[in-house]
Amino acid sequence: MNIDIKDNEIGLVFKNGKYKKIVMGGRHILPEFFGYSVEIVNLNLRYSNPFPISILLKDPKFKSIIIEVEANEKELILHKEDGVLKEALRTGKYYFFNSIVKHEFEKIDISDYEINSDIPEHVLSNPIIKPFYSEHFIYEYNYGILFVNGKFIKTLKPGRYRFWNQLNTVVVTYLDKRLQQVEIQGQELLTEDRITLRLNFTCQYQIVNPEKISLEIANYLEQIHVLMQLALREFVSTWKLDSLLEKKEEAANVIMKKLKEKEEILGVKFHNAGIKDIILPGEMKDILNTVTIAEKKAQANIIYRREETASTRSLLNTAKILDENPTLLRLKELEYLEKIIEKIDSVNLSTNSGILDQLTGLVKSK
């Protein structure tokens, strides 16, 4: 039986299923009828033949061409072939042939969640390594809260972070440190004078204690929302509707003061608050509209009477002046006479008396 083996291969020779030896590249002749068989193994690949390698390692010739690598559970082994990273090995024993390819192995401790800064960036960025760690970006506008195996570790500053994820469960939660806004829409409230209204309220806040929010407060946004509702209900119940409508700014300041009392407990800082809208029931709107119309009419009547009084007083003063000054009275008569003549097409006058006297007499006779 002729067996041709390539230069990058070896042959495992068996007789009746029992290992006998290895043969290297070339042509080999084996007796065909004596139970011999050959299994070809590629030297470029990791040994993965189902035949127990422990038996093969007893052969000095086989052992001389094999490399044994073992990784424990706290290690990651980087495997390079001719200087090129090929794979990352986890817990177990691995066997490689050293006769064709140059193999290099580098052990990395992954027992801690933090990645050693000595590992080059080109290694960490290799797609082969990426599945073994988690990567997190903390931006300037974020807080990053780090938990390892369920335990709070620290608040991360802005930057890029990588953590081994094989032996530890690493979780990073994010909180926004920018100014944010929360609104209450259509909150139904009852005023002191027993009038039901709906109110839209807005408030701006900023997270200042991310650790407190992460460790002590469940759903901080809902907590803020409830706090605003309670403050609004307590405040509106002590004010009458007219006062609330007239002093919305003052009302917002009072509510803001109540919110600030809870800043330390919630881990936030409140900046601005205000009532956006006060929504009244339909019948109350009609009543207020009627009142407003009546008030405007009353104001208009007052203004009209005031102007009428001023006009009468002016006429009275003019009459007194004309009565005391005949010349001025005569000029006033001539002024009115001029206006009347402008509207008359023709006037017949005689030459027996003065023109002015005739015109005056004509007007008086009319």
- Maximum average pLDDT range among 115-119, 162-166, 247-251, 282-286: 162-166
pLDDT tens-digit readout, 334-354: 776 667 777 666 656 555 555
| Alpha-carbon separation of residue 139 from 136, 145, 208 (angstroms) | 10, 12, 16
> What confidence category does residue 363 fall into, taking pLDDT thresholds of 50, 70 and 90?
low
Task: Give the pLDDT score at 254.
Answer: 84
> What confidence category does residue 290 fall into, taking pLDDT thresholds of 50, 70 and 90?
low
- Evaluate whether 170 touches 163 at the Cβ level (below 8 Å): yes
Task: Give the pLDDT score at 300.
Answer: 66
Q: Dihedral of the CA atoms 346, 351, 354, 355 (nearest 10)?
A: 10
> What confidence category does residue 48 fall into, taking pLDDT thresholds of 50, 70 and 90?
confident
What is the three-state SS of the chain?
Answer: CEEEECCCEEEEEEECCEEEEEECCEEEECCCCCCEEEEEEECCCCCCCCCCHHHHCCCHHHHHCEEEEEECCCEEEEEEECCEEEEEECCEEEEEECCCCCEEEEEEECCCCECCCCCCHHHHCCCCCHHHEEEEEECCCEEEEEEECCEEEEEECCEEEEEECCCCCEEEEEEECCCEEEEEEEEEEECCCCCEEEEEEEEEEEECCHHHHHHHCCCHHHHHHHHHHHHHHHHHCCCCHHHHHHCHHHHHHHHHHHHHCCHHHHCEEEEEEEEEEEECCHHHHHHHHHHHHHHHHHHHHHHHHHHHHHHHHHHHHHHHHHHHCHHHHHHHHHHHHHHHHCCCCCCCCCCCCCHHHHHHHHHHHC
pTM: predicted TM-score of the whole model, two decimal places = 0.67
- Evaluate whether 119 touches 108 at the Cβ level (below 8 Å): yes
**What is the CATH number assigned to the segment(s) 182-280?**
3.30.479.30
Task: Give the pLDDT score at 308.
Answer: 79
- Evaluate whether 277 touches 199 at the Cβ level (below 8 Å): yes
Task: Give the pLDDT score at 289.
Answer: 55
- Evaluate whether 75 touches 108 at the Cβ level (below 8 Å): yes
- pLDDT mean over 199-215: 93
pLDDT tens-digit readout, 101-156: 899 999 999 999 999 888 999 999 999 999 999 999 999 999 999 999 999 999 99
Indicate whether 329 pLDDT > 70: no
**For residue 123, which amino acid is it?**
V
Domain boundaries, the chain: 2-102, 110-178, 182-280
Bridge partners of residue 232, in order along the sequence: none
Select the more confidently predicted residue: 251 or 295. Answer: 251
Q: What residues contact residue 224 under an 8 Å CB cut-off, 6+ apart?
A: 182, 203, 205, 266, 268
Give dist(CA 15, CA 300) in Å, integer.
123
- Evaluate whether 211 touches 268 at the Cβ level (below 8 Å): no
